[in-house]
Structure formats: C-alpha cells, structure tokens
Amino acid sequence: MATASPAIRVNGLRKSYQKRSVLRGVDFEVARGSIFALLGSNGAGKTTVVRILSTLLRPDAGTASVHGFDVGSEPLRVRESISLTGQFAAVDEILTGRENLIMVGRLRRLGDPRGTADDLLDRFGLADAGGRRVGSYSGGMRRRLDIAMSLIGDPPVIFLDEPTTGLDPEGRIEVWHEIRKLARGGTTVLLTTQYLEEAEKLADRIAILHEGTIIVSGTLAELRKLLPPARVEHVEQQPTLEEVFLSVVGKQA
C-alpha cells in the first residue's frame, strides 16, 4: 500500500433498488488525510455510496476500494480500516456513554478499553455524563459520543454520514471542530452533507452528487471558477441570524 495511493477510490458505481436507479456510475477519489465532502440533496444517493464503502451494501456494478482494499473481495480488511458514523446516531441508548465506548473498544480488541473510554470521554467533554444512560443525552452529546465511538482503534478512514443533521448551531460547531482535528491527525474523512456551508467550511475537496452521478468535483476555489467572476459591489452586511444567535449565547463560529 503506497502512501501516495488514494484512501478511497470509486469507479463506475451503480446501484438500483427495484426499478429505481439510485447510483448511475459514480467515480471519485479521496486523497489520504483529506476531508472530502459528498454534497447532495435528500435522496441523491449519498448514503448509498457510504453504505457500499462500509461493506453494508453490494453495488450492482463498479468497484470501490478503501485504504487499498476492495470492498467486494476484502470486506473484512475494509472494516478493519474504517469507522462509520451514521445519519441516525448509532449509539446504545440503554447503556451509559462509558459502556458504549467500552463495548466498541472490546469489539475492536483494544488492550485497555476502559482507559480508552475515559480518554475519549474527557476529550469530547463527556466526562461528567459518562456514567449516565445515553437515553438522557442531548442531540449534540449523542453525536459527540457517536464520533468518539468511531475513533476507537484509530481507523485511517472515517465515514461521517450527515454528521450534523438535526443538531443545533452549537452542536454543529462542536462536531466541525472534531472533524477538523481528525483530519489534522492524518485521518481521511468522507463526509456527506446537504448543508452547503458545512462543505464549504470543512472540505478540502467537494463533489456534488446529483441524480446518481457526480456532476462536478474539485476544491472550493475550482468550483467557484465555474461561475462568472465575482463583481465588486457595496452591500450593507447585516449579521445573519446564526451570527446573532452564536454571539448572544457566547460561541464563535
């Protein structure tokens, strides 16, 4: 596995459910250690791509490899290399936060699942809540726990399927902060989102998935070049409601 090879490589991916064709030939590559955003509206097929890459679904045609392993022929090696954080935070509500982390640590065969759990609870600001059942957590805490669970075992590639859907602005900023830290640590992040701003703020490269194919992809600067150059205009800049909200509750975007 050469370090220069991409962390994720997708070629000609197709998938239909009954007669409905969801993916009609998807191609993209994600460089190691980068944040790649798959942008698209609801039903564009983002989740289907993530499910195929995380070995939960077989494509009808096309190939995909993650961390150098083919998802079809080496699914176990792929699973060793990834973590999936789903759209609906997949945490166990009846267990405590700490028990959730220990469970994943044991399944990933860590030497010291308890120690790892305590470290992650600290790191994600959940130390006080660690002994409480997840059922009592807020949406933001749940999502942070979900991401913390994904980090156990230090997988080189992480899939975040709509990680901020349903979160309040503060929760979203906390999650963004964690995603940036991940990429700085060398983890490859594939992020799906329907929020344009999220892709703009986080991603090194952005691909727009529309009606089953990638219609454009590139860096933000490259995508901007697709439109006529910016004109200089004088516009009175009103603060957005989000800026107002964040400033009165005392957080910085």
- Please report whether residue 61 would count as binding another protein according to CB under 8 A: no
DSSP string, 127-189: TTTTTSBGGG--HHHHHHHHHHHHHTT--SEEEEESTTTT--HHHHHHHHHHHHHHHHTT-EE
DSSP string of the chain, one letter each residue: --TTS-SEEEEEEEEEETTEEEEEEEEEEE-TT-EEEEE--TTSSHHHHHHHHTTSS--SEEEEEETTEETTT-HHHHHHHEEEE-SS----SSSBHHHHHHHHHHHTT-S-HHHHHHHHHHHTT-TTTTTSBGGG--HHHHHHHHHHHHHTT--SEEEEESTTTT--HHHHHHHHHHHHHHHHTT-EEEEEES-HHHHHHH-SEEEEEETTEEEEEE-HHHHHTTSPPPPP-----PPPHHHHHHHHHT---
14 belongs to the binding site for another protein (CB under 8 A) = no
Q: Which of 9, 32, 70, 95 is in the footprint of another protein by CB under 8 A?
A: 95
Contact with another protein (CB under 8 A): which of 7, 38, 46, 55? 55
Q: How far is the CB of 133 from another protein (least distance, A)?
A: 8
Q: Report if residue 110 touches another protein, rule: CB under 8 A.
A: no
Nearest approach in angstroms of CB 96 to another protein is: 9
Contact with another protein (CB under 8 A): which of 106, 181, 184, 224? 106
One symbol per residue from 136 to 175: x for binding another protein (CB under 8 A), - otherwise; what is it?
Answer: -------------x--------------------------
Q: Is 226 in the site for another protein (CB under 8 A)?
A: no
Please tell me whether residue 70 binds another protein under the rule CB under 8 A: no
Q: Of 82-90, 182-190, 208-216, 240-248, which part binds another protein (CB under 8 A)?
A: 82-90
Cβ proximity to another protein, 45 vs 86, nearer residue: 86
Site string for another protein, 18-47 (x = CB under 8 A): ------------------------------
Q: How far is the CB of 191 from another protein (least distance, A)?
A: 16
192 sits in the region (left: phi over 0; alpha: psi -120 to 50; else beta) called beta
Question: Is 80 a residue that touches another protein (CB under 8 A)?
Answer: yes
Candidates 70, 74, 99, 204: give the one binding another protein (CB under 8 A).
Answer: 99
**Complex with another protein: residue 84 or 189, whichever CB lies closer:** 84
- Residue ranges in contact with another protein by CB under 8 A: 51, 54-58, 75-76, 79-80, 82-84, 86-95, 99, 103-104, 106-109, 133, 149
